[in-house]
Amino acid sequence: MYSRCLFYFGTAVAIPIVMETKTQKYIDEQEVARVTGRALSTLRNERFNRRGIPYYKVGRSVRYSLQDVINFMEAHRVQTGDGLNG
């Protein structure tokens, strides 16, 4: 199993990779909930309502692209006054 370290809010978060292909890495819903701080029930509700982070479903297994999770978090980034140049 591989792992990757991301930094959210100044804290390093190690993400175990559940599945990996040559071009994509996939994580399960528990890891998405842990990394994003979103409740598992929220992720499930968003999937039911076809909202939130894009996902893959093979049979009963749900997987998220690690890049999609990162993109989702980056898209919801709030820029503060401290981070502005000038």
Instruction: Indicate whether 1 pLDDT > 50.
Output: no
- pLDDT tens digits, 36-56: 999 999 999 999 999 999 999
Average pLDDT, the chain: 83
Alpha-carbon distance of 6 to 36, in angstroms, equals 11
Domains of the chain: 18-79 (1.10.10)
pTM of this prediction exceeds 0.75:
no
Distances (CA, A) of 34 to 18, 31, 63, 71: 14, 5, 14, 16
Instruction: Indicate whether 85 pLDDT > 80.
Output: no
Say which residues have a Cβ less than 8 Å from residue 58's Cβ, sequence separation at least 6. Answer: none
Position 81 confidence tier, pLDDT thresholds 50, 70, 90: confident
- pLDDT tens digits, 15-43: 555 556 567 899 999 999 999 999 999 99
**Percent share of the chain, pLDDT over 70:** 70
Neighbours of 32 (CB within 10 A): 23
